Amino acid sequence: MVKNAQMLEQFELEQVRRSPPDHARNLRIVEALYQEAVHLGVLPRPDPLEGIEHVIELARAINRV
């Protein structure tokens, strides 16, 4: 059990700062997550345009600002 959450958070942030980004590892993670989504039947979508209206409205709202 963590008794000092702030100390743990500082430790984790320092670990992130010290380690350089590993793009190959990140790509492998993304590909594994995609394969898991395909395996679970979430991707690819049966209708790729489903919900496009919501995406368009969101883009309009963001671009107005």
pLDDT value at position 2? 84
Tens-binned pLDDT, residue by residue, of the chain (65 aa) = 889 999 999 999 999 999 999 999 999 999 999 999 999 998 888 888 988 999 999 999 999 86
Q: How far apart (Å, rounded) are the C-alpha atoms in residues 45 and 47?
A: 5
Q: What angle do CA 43, 47, 50 make, to 5 degrees?
A: 105
pTM (2 d.p.): 0.54
pLDDT value at position 65? 67
Q: What angle do CA 52, 36, 42 make, to 5 degrees?
A: 30
